[in-house]
Amino acid sequence: MAEAGTLRARLLARLFLPMLGLLLVSGAIAYYAAFRFANQVYDRWISDTAVALSQLARDSGAGVVADLPPEALHMLASDQRDRLFHSITTPEGRLVAGHPGLTPPATGPEAGTPPACRDATLEGEPIRVAAYRPRGLPVVVQVAETVGKRDMLALEIIASMLLPLLFLVLLGAALVWVGVEQGLQPLTRLAEQLSRRQPSDLGPLEETTAPGEVQPLVRALNGLLARVDAVLSAQQRFVADAAHQLRTPIAGLKTQAEMAQRATDPASLRHILDNIVAASSRMSSLVAQLLLLARTHSASTAPISRQRLALDQIARTVTADWIARSIERRMDLGFEADDAPCHIEGDPVLLREMLGNLIDNALKHCEPGAVITVSVHGDNGSVVLAVGDSGPGVPTDERPRVFERFYRLPDSTVPGTGLGLSIVQNVAQLHEAAVEIGTGPDGRGTRIAVKFPAR
């Protein structure tokens, strides 16, 4: 792929090329006009000379004769730059006077009409010939001249026309160069302003001082800087929150391990080891969810891998994977779906993780005997994935906050990381879906629905 080149070079090329084209067109017009004007001037002279010579021819009764005085011949030979030739011939081609090489034209001029001029060659030289046929006399008078003066006059005319134009083009090119340099100064200043910034400085650039044509670029840069700042801030908060959340279980593991080193009673040691296993399980779950949350955050800055999926099949498979856990906790986990397949475009791995978090969240917050239902159905072209339960529910004023990272309900005693619904929301946003929290079946519990847009 060819390089785009610099903006300066592209501007100069778009300005200089039309100027060069204008100069070439002007040169062609000047060349045509100069030679046409030179021919008109000298054609008039040889035409007048042909008319004057025709007046020296007469019919002597025995034929046409021409009485050319020495002064006339001297006048014809007095040109210092060009050679002049003349001839007087009868229509049959008999030479009456003059140069024998000037043969009459194949179609001679009409008698009494103005002389006709044409290009020809004589003795290997280009000439311009004027032919005239006087009225009442059967002769053709021709006067020819080499083209030296014509060429010189044409070149003088061309020079007088093109030299000022060339000067104006060069002056215009210089002014264009300076104008382009000055016009690009705002971009140069913008580049210098960006190069002087520290990596941590993501504040907006000054927009009002930029020219109108540059302001869209400045606005786009400011938008990009704002998005980068938001992403970096979110990553920093995530790292800080993750460090805070990991610090407690790691400290607990260390404490339990130290207690195990000092324990001498087998029963106490067994109890401590059980606590270590439980803490390790909780930390493993926390790390897994932190890694998944980090993956969804990184996916938000780049397009996810989309493919056409049958969401009802994915939901059915994931629900089946959680059946054993629900039986262990003595809960009724079921699945409902429309008869027709429900297709969406998305990442199957992220969708499985999202539904797994919804089911896990329901299993953690419901009491034994609760009913949990996973459902997939179409809704006016959209597809809705929902998990409803008959548990204690989420207070209305707390529903907006449950999607925050590490947030847990104030009165919750259920062990957890507070990351499940945050992961659900991130995955939904990556798929341009909307998450809603409502009341579960029969007005009890919680129903979390993810509505995927129609495709």
CATH code at position 342: 3.30.565.10
pLDDT at 72: 65
CATH number of 71's domain:
3.30.450
Residues 231 and 129 reside in one and the same domain: no
Q: What is the pLDDT of residue 107?
A: 75
Q: Is residue 271 part of a domain?
A: yes
DSSP SS3 for 45: helix
pTM given for the model:
0.46
- Pick the closest to residue 368 from 396, 326, 324 (CA basis): 326
Residue 366 domain-assigned (yes or no): yes
Any domain includes 221: yes
| Same domain flag for 320 and 441 | yes
Q: With respect to residue 196, please indicate whether it lies within any of the assigned structural domains.
A: no
Of the three residues 111, 128, 155, the one that is the final residue of a domain is 155
Same domain, 288 and 330: no
Each residue of 406-445: pLDDT tens digit?
Answer: 555 656 555 555 566 777 888 888 888 888 888 876 778 8
CA 43, 44, 49, 54 dihedral sign is positive
CATH number of the domain that residue 248 is part of: 1.10.287.130
Q: Is residue 37 part of a domain?
A: yes
Q: Looking at the domain assignment, is residue 161 inside a domain?
A: no
pLDDT digits (tens, 9 = 90+) for 175-234: 888 888 877 777 777 778 788 888 777 788 777 777 777 778 888 888 888 888 877 776
Closest to 360 measured CA to CA, from 435, 285, 249? 285
CB 293 within 8 Å of CB 406: no
Could you say which DSSP state residue 300 is in?
Answer: T
**Partners of 335 in the beta sheet?**
374
Ranges of H-type helices in 185-265 = 185-195, 215-262
Looking at the structure, tell me whether residues 139 and 232 fall in a common domain.
no
Task: Single out the residue in 247, 279, 299 at which a domain terminates.
Answer: 299
Q: Mark residue 319 as left, alpha or beta (left: phi above 0; alpha: psi -120 to 50; beta: remaining).
A: alpha
Claim to verify: residue 413 and residue 320 sit in the same structural domain: yes
Based on the fold, state whether residues 236 and 360 are members of the same structural domain.
Answer: no
Residues of the chain below pLDDT 70: 1-5, 61-62, 69, 71-80, 108, 234, 237-249, 282-283, 285-304, 403, 405-420, 441, 454-455
Range(s) of the domain holding residue 249:
215-299
Cβ neighbours of residue 209 closer than 8 Å, sequence gap 6 or more: none
Number of domains in the chain: 3
Could you tell me if 51 and 76 lie in one domain? Answer: yes
187 contact partners, CB below 8 Å, separation of at least 6: 7, 214
Which pLDDT value is given to residue 282? 65
Query: What pLDDT is attached to residue 374?
Result: 92
3-state secondary structure 105-171: CCCCCCCCCCCEEEEEEECCEEEEEEEECCCCCCCEEEEEEECHHHHHHHHHHHHHHHHHHHHHHHH
Q: Are residues 351 and 293 in the same domain?
A: no
In a domain, 171, yes or no: no
Domain boundary among 251, 279, 299: 299
The whole-number pLDDT of residue 1 equals: 38
Same domain, 346 and 444: yes
Take residue 19 and report the two structure tokens written for it: 């100027």
Q: Is residue 207 part of a domain?
A: no
- In this structure, the answer to whether residues 30 and 149 fall within a common structural domain is yes
**CA-CA distance, 56 to 66, in Å (whole number)?**
6
Distances, alpha carbon 362 to alpha carbons 237, 245, 269, 323, 391, in Å: 27, 22, 34, 13, 8
Judgement on whether residues 19 and 135 belong to the same structural domain of the protein: yes
Among positive and negative, which fits the CA dihedral 142, 148, 149, 150?
positive
User: Both 417 and 447 in a single domain?
Assistant: yes
